[in-house]
Amino acid sequence: MPITSLSEKRILFVSGKGGVGKSLIAAGLAKELADSGKRVLLAEIGETSYYRDFWGLKQEITHIPSKHPTEKFDLALWSGETSLREYVLFYLKMERLYNLFFENKVMRALVNVAPGLSEIAILGKITSGIRKVGPPMNYDVIVVDSYATGHALALLEAPKGMMEAIKFGPMGNHSREMDQVIKDEKIMSYIVVTLLEELPVTESIEFRDKLKKEFGVSPSIVANKVMHAPVTGDEIAETTQSKNSGLAEFARHIKAVNERKEKYEKLLAESGSKIVEVPLIFSADPNELTKKTGEALRAL
């Protein structure tokens, strides 16, 4: 069963506060969509791969997409440097000229500190298939395991800053195209991952509000690792009075967890976003984790 409301999107942008499990959510989305028949690329953003360790892969995950050895989707790792290299080579056409300008210490230092350049390069890669720039991207859906919320916002804001700094030429034109793509909800869908805890929920709501205000988009929110106790409130209340001190203490813990869960569920609901809950999955098997996470995300 496909994730129906996301099945026609071209780019799924996944973010969230660090430590909430956004990479697993992105992997679950990729698996569910790929199993439904879509051609899917799961793209990590950064310098090192989380997924290589997660699945214990022998293969390197690089800028060039490669097939997952057991799943139906492809994997890629896009950094600012590799994305910028591809973009410049696409225009210069000569690797020797690229190396002359970018493979020396002075230029590399300038590139590293240039405001927004790394973010522009990465976002350019993410949207390149839509904009028909660079190598073909023959995928129905790209699931982007993006940065945590603060850096993700900087990534999305980069085209606007570049448009103001460079109004003409390829860089200015491409920045305007990127800005249009990230604001088009027919193309992109935003998924914000959270835990039902104070700081992740607060940060998720703030991120959601900024996305809506600055880009006019409304993200879905995924509450991850939600624990559902298979007992009623009355049973928990009764057990807190048990003569067995250990059992009573455990019941009080469950009661506190449920109250906290209900509090933050209500807070998220009041934010107006679509919310999907992924249960706490008790497994160390990465394939089972990915599969069950994908199944829980069908509600998206």
Q: What is the pLDDT of residues 247-286, one digit of tens each?
A: 777 777 777 777 788 888 888 888 777 789 999 998 989 9
Inform me whether the pLDDT recorded for 228 exceeds 90.
no
Q: Strand 220-226 and strand 74-78: pairing?
A: unpaired
Domain coverage including residue 179 = 4-228+273-299
Angle among Cα 118, 120, 122 to the nearest 5 degrees reads 70
Q: Could you tell me the CATH number of the domain that includes residue 98? A: 3.40.50.300
**Counted domains in the chain:** 1
Residue 168 lies in a domain: yes
pLDDT tens, position by position, 120-174: 889 999 999 998 887 888 999 999 999 999 999 999 999 998 888 777 777 788 8
Residue 237 domain-assigned (yes or no)? no
pTM of the model: 0.87
90 backbone dihedrals φ, ψ, rounded to 5°: -60, -35
Domain annotation covers residue 240 = no
Specify if 238 maps to a domain.
no
Got the DSSP string for 32-90? HHHHTT--EEEEEESSS-HHHHHHT-SSPP-SS-EE-SSSSSEEEEE-HHHHHHHHHHH
Q: Is residue 93 part of a domain?
A: yes
Q: Is residue 253 part of a domain?
A: no
Tell me, yes or no, whether 224 lies in a domain.
Answer: yes
The answer to whether residue 234 sits within a structural domain is no
